[in-house]
A and B are shown apart, each in its own frame.
Chain A
Amino acid sequence: MVNPSVVPLRSGIFSDRLRARLAPVIAVVLLLVALLLGVALGPVGLDMGKIARTLLGIHGGLTGTDRTILLQLRLPRVILAALVGAALAASGSAYQAVFRNPLADPYLLGVAAGAGLGATIAFIGRDPGVTPSVPIFAFFGGIVAVASTLIIAGRRMNDPPTVLLAGIAFGAFATAIQTFLQQRNSAVLRPVYSWILGQLNGAGWPTVIDVAPYILLSLLALHLLSRRMDALLLSDDEARSLGVNPGRLRMMVIVIATLATSTAVAASGLIGFVGIVIPHLVRSLTHQATSRAISTIAVAGAAFLVLADLGGRTVVSPAELPIGVITAFVGAPFFLFVLRTRGRGLV
């Protein structure tokens, strides 16, 4: 018999169906508001009406420096934040589904360690500072890490715990090499540390154009696979009896989520928290445990990171806080609040 006081009955004024339908609309509105605030606020405040006119190409928009700030600095930055946020949140949700593990995050299979090692090698190869090769090295570092993890798992690639453990072991190995390299090249300590904390400053249109195709294609693929991913919430045998090949589907999702994560890491460094908290938060608020919420999760992740970036560059303006600090600083208490106040549990 279950103790009635702890039975997480779903209550509330909204039915589950209404919540599921409203959630994507609310997430999109939230993203639009975040984007608008993201371009309007900063060390130089921009008029929202004029921003709209400029973006729509109507007469009476921003001119001069303000126009440059909007089009060349803030717009690419908020769009990059949205893309990275969407990629991290959706990948996190996908990893949680394929590994049947609520603690799975986008950096799980050694992406973070691999990308960190790649970035460190890039920093050592050049003068200290952000070099164009850092994102490329980070991207390949992440991809190589996941590929190595899967090769190490070998024939047991379809066994989630084996893959997880292989990822942790490979991550530790890559981190050890990274630490060794840093110790031998103390000049790169500061730039590597700053990159690890995540940053979006200096992002321009070229970066957005570089990352957008990978992230948007990955998000589309995850959306198309989301209904099939529901079957992975069952055991592999049960999934098979629903007509799903769990091994093949799991591998496809891992490859796609890794591509999205590595691209995001290459563009922005390591931004924690988004990939684990946003999926749980959205699923909890929408009462959807199934993967069908993945598109809403992506949009919510985008909105969250745009707002976090806005916080990062306004709180101690004109200086900037690393975005990874903001995501954890704001996200963690909010997540804990929801965890405490919701009876149902956050999964």
Chain B
Amino acid sequence: MIRFEDLNVRLGGHTILHGVDLAVDRGGWTCLIGPNGAGKTTVLRSAIGGIPFTGRIQIDGMKIDRVDPSRIAYVSQRPAIPEGMSVGEYVRLGRFPFGTPRSDQRGAKVVADLLEELNLDGIERQSVTSLSGGEFQRCVIARALTQEALVLLLDEPTSALDLHRQIEVLDVIDRRRNDGLTVLSTMHDITLAGMYADKFVVMDRGRIIIEGPPHEVANSVDLLRTFGGGIDVLKNLDGLPVVFPKRETPNS
């Protein structure tokens, strides 16, 4: 599990996070929701040492600075696209913490399985710079999953994907939770997030506003208020929340 206690982040004289307390159980999937600038990405970046913070972050009860950083895989919202690297080479970078290809005997199979699961096996030899945004996003997720980490941090993992690919990719991640993978993600698509996350955490201006099961949070006044009343929430046939932006028409 991953636990944040009294997490505070200050950057350039501004306070970005105010005492955030948050825990994701082993095998759980928590999704951070909130408007731009709420501090969602900062929470994720603090867990990988990308940003100085005060407070405590623990993984399975161990302080974060004692945990091997490679046990926390990270999918960035703005990943670097290495020039000239093939899809296969890129995905194999996730096995870096396991040593050389010779010493990492399981590596080849883990990489091959993920390339197949994410439908990348047909383009393994293609250069990553030639890919569409969605294809590259699948590569980034494949790279993170080959790391076989304890915790997976996903920053807007589906922003470039087609609708049908979104489900395909999130299903691949979801299956890994049976093996104990803990997922903490940010997603703007609250409807999609509600299909996978077992907990929503709503953030606004560096603070947690409300947290709980997706259907409860989605129907809360706090969520509506966080987005300035600009959303509508319905329920689908499975009882899951369907959240979409509301347009104020002149006649309404």
Contact between A241 and B131, CB atoms less than 8 A apart: no
* Interfacial chain A residues near B70, Cβ < 8 Å: 241-243
Instruction: Give the residue of B73, B80, B100, B125 whose beta carbon is less than 8 angstroms from that of A241.
Output: B73
Q: Hey, what's the 0/1 contact readout for B131-153 against A, CB within 8 Å counting as 1? A: 11000000000001001010001
Q: Which of A322-339 contact B (CB under 8 A)?
A: none
Chain B window 35-77, contacts with chain A (Cβ cutoff 8 Å), 1 for yes, 0 for no:
0000000000100111000000000000000001110111010
Shortest CB-to-CB span from B156 to chain A, Å, is 14
Whether B83 and A289, one on each chain, are in contact in the complex, defined by CB atoms closer than 8 angstroms, is yes
Contact across chains for B83 and A241 when beta carbons are under 8 A apart: no
B96 interface hit (Cβ, 8 Å): yes
Taken residue by residue from 141 to 159, chain A's Cβ proximity to chain B (1 for < 8 Å, 0 otherwise) reads as 0000000000000000000
Within 8 A of B (CB), among A288-310: 288-290
The residue in chain A whose Cβ has the minimal distance to the Cβ of B70 is A243
Judged by a CB distance under 8 angstroms, whether A320 is at the interface is no
20 additional A-B pairs beyond A9-B125, A242-B94, beta carbons within 8 Å, are A1-B132, A2-B131, A8-B126, A8-B130, A10-B127, A227-B100, A234-B80, A234-B82, A235-B76, A235-B79, A237-B76, A238-B79, A240-B48, A240-B69, A240-B74, A243-B68, A243-B96, A289-B85, A345-B129, A347-B83
Q: Does B119 contact A (CB under 8 A)?
A: no
What are 15 A-B pairs at a CB distance below 8 A? Answer: A1-B132, A2-B130, A2-B131, A6-B130, A7-B130, A8-B127, A9-B126, A233-B93, A238-B79, A241-B153, A242-B96, A244-B96, A288-B89, A289-B82, A290-B89
Q: Would B85 and A237 count as touching, CB distance under 8 A?
A: no
Nearest residue, chain A, Cβ from B99: A227
Question: B122 → chain A, closest Cβ, in Å?
Answer: 11
Interface of chain A residues 209 through 255 with chain B (CB within 8 A) = 227, 230-231, 233-238, 240-244
**In the complex, A227 Cα to B98 Cα: how many Å?**
12
Q: Is A16 an interface residue (CB 8 A)?
A: yes
Q: Select the residue from B72, B100, B127 with max chain A CB neighbours within 10 A.
A: B127
Is A344 in contact with chain B by the CB < 8 A criterion?
Answer: yes
**Considering only CB atoms, which chain B residue lies closest to A241 in the complex?**
B74
Instruction: Evaluate contact between A287 and B86: CB separation under 8 angstroms.
Output: yes
- The answer to whether A344 and B96 have CB atoms under 8 Å apart is no
Cα distance A1–B132 in the bound complex, in angstroms: 6
* Chain B interface residue count, Cβ-Cβ cutoff 8 angstroms: 37
Per-residue interface assignment for chain B, residues 105 to 134, with 1 indicating a CB less than 8 Å from any chain A CB and 0 otherwise: 000000000000000000001110111100
Contact assessment for B45 and A237 in the assembled complex, using a CB-CB cutoff below 8 Å: yes
Chain B residues whose C-beta falls within 8 Å of the C-beta of A242 in the assembled complex: 69-70, 93-94, 96-97, 147
Q: State whether A235 touches B80 (Cβ < 8 A).
A: yes
Q: Does B229 contact A (CB under 8 A)?
A: no
Which residues of chain B are within 8 angstroms of A9 by Cβ–Cβ distance? 125-126
Chain A contact surface mostly: loop
Q: Is the CB of A234 within 8 A of B79?
A: yes
Given the complex of chains A and B, what is the CA–CA distance between A100 and B129 in angstroms? 14
- Candidates A234, A240, A243, A347; contact of B84 at CB < 8 Å: A347
Q: In whole Å, how far is A236's beta carbon from the nearest beta carbon of chain B? A: 7
Q: Known contacts A235-B79, A289-B82; decide if A240 and B96 are in contact (CB<8 Å).
A: no
Are A236 and B50 closer than 8 Å at their CB atoms? yes
Partner of A230, one of B76, B83, B93: B93
Is the Cβ of B96 less than 8 Å from the Cβ of A230? Answer: yes
Q: Is A283 an interface residue (CB 8 A)?
A: yes
Asked whether B48 lies within 8 Å of A235 as measured between CB atoms, the reply is no
Q: Which residues of B contact A243 (CB under 8 A)?
A: 68-70, 96-97
Contact flags (1/0) for A40-63 with B, using CB distance below 8 Å?
Answer: 000000000000000000000000
CA distance A288 to B86 in the complex (A): 9
A289 to B81 Cα, complex, angstroms: 12
Is there an interface contact between B84 and A283, defined as CB atoms closer than 8 Å?
A: yes
Residues of B within 8 A of A100 (CB): 80, 82
Task: Give the residue name and chain of the B residue nearest to A97 (CB).
Answer: B82
Collect the chain B residues with CB atoms within 8 Å of residue A241's CB.
48, 69-70, 72-74, 144, 147, 149, 153
Evaluate contact between A237 and B84: CB separation under 8 angstroms: no
The 8 closest A-B pairs by CB, nearest first: A243-B70, A241-B74, A347-B84, A289-B85, A347-B83, A233-B82, A235-B80, A289-B84
| Chain B minimum-CB-distance residue to A234 | B80
Q: Which residue of A lies closest to B125 (CB)?
A: A10
Verify if A129 is at the interface (C-beta below 8 Å from B). Answer: no
Chain B residue nearest in CB terms to A235: B80
- A236: which B residues are within 8 A, CB to CB? 50
Give every chain B residue within 8 A of A227 (Cβ-Cβ): 96, 100
B131 cross-chain contacts in A, Cβ below 8 A: 2
Question: Min CB distance, B137 to chain A, in Å?
Answer: 13
Q: Is B14 an interface residue (CB 8 A)?
A: no
| Inter-chain contact A345/B127, CB cutoff 8 Å | yes
A287 to B, closest residue via Cβ = B86
